[in-house]
Amino acid sequence: MKQHIEKITQLLLGAAYADKRLAGAEITRIRSLLSTLLGGAEVPEELLRMINTFSPAAFNVQQVASALDDLSTEDKRKLLELVASVNDADEELDLAEDIYLRTLAAALGLDEEKYSDLTLEILAGEELHGLLA
């Protein structure tokens, strides 16, 4: 996945901005994830510049994801785990972040059973009956 580090950085930044609020914890998490992906190395200056200049309005998740067609199913799943980690960094569950993860998964061509454990589960009215009893 190292060869796709710039695309992965963009996708992680897209996750951070999915709820229209950028938290410092999300940026910290992105930097940590990038360092880990790079084998513990310092995050290169060009990636730091990308983090600082990222424009969510100009970002297209489908376009970036399409450049990752050559990733294995396992690597695509790992990428979704990284996105979920960024989503969790601000300790808030948000539908916009969940939609972003699902949109990315679809753009990567993953079937829902490959990532459903990373998404929010919406309960129907009948499933809520007796839940607090």
CA–CA gap between residue 6 and residue 125 (Å, rounded): 43
Q: Which residues of the chain have pLDDT under 50?
A: 123
Q: What is the pLDDT of residue 123?
A: 46
- Residue spans of the domains in the chain: they are 2-128
Q: Could you tell me the end-to-end alpha-carbon distance of the chain, in angstroms, rounded to an integer?
A: 47
Q: What is the pLDDT of residue 53?
A: 95
Class of domain 2-128: mainly alpha
Q: What is the pLDDT of residue 124?
A: 53
CB atoms near residue 19 (< 10 Å)? 20
